Amino acid sequence: MNVQPSPEGLGRLIIVIGLALVVVGVIVSFTRTLRLGSLPGDLHWSGRGWQIWVPLGSSVLLSLLLTVILNLFLRRR
């Protein structure tokens, strides 16, 4: 059985992806203001000619925010 996606479903998917990209773009634009990357728990080591950055604190914060936002939007269905 060959199931083809409907044009309406594809259009909605493109809109959702576009909105997600806009949200990510706004977040990236305001990272200095939000202090992402310099939160407690973000690890940074540097030496002569190298550096390692592990954003653990920022990752946890973004995960919590995205969980709350997605739960608010997806529970309406």
In a domain, residue 1? The reply is no
Residue 54 has pLDDT above 80, yes or no: yes
| pLDDT tens digit sequence for 18-43 | 998 888 888 778 776 767 677 788 88
In a domain, residue 51? The reply is yes
In a domain, residue 34? The reply is yes
Closest Cα to residue 57, out of 31, 28, 32, 36? 36
DSSP string, 3-16: PPPPHHHHHHHHHH
CA-derived radius of gyration, the chain: 18
In a domain, residue 2? The reply is no
Which range marks the domain in which residue 47 is found?
A: 7-74
In a domain, residue 26? The reply is yes
d(CA 66, CA 58): 12
pTM over 0.75: no
What does the DSSP 8-state code read for residue 65? H
> How many folded domains does the chain comprise?
1
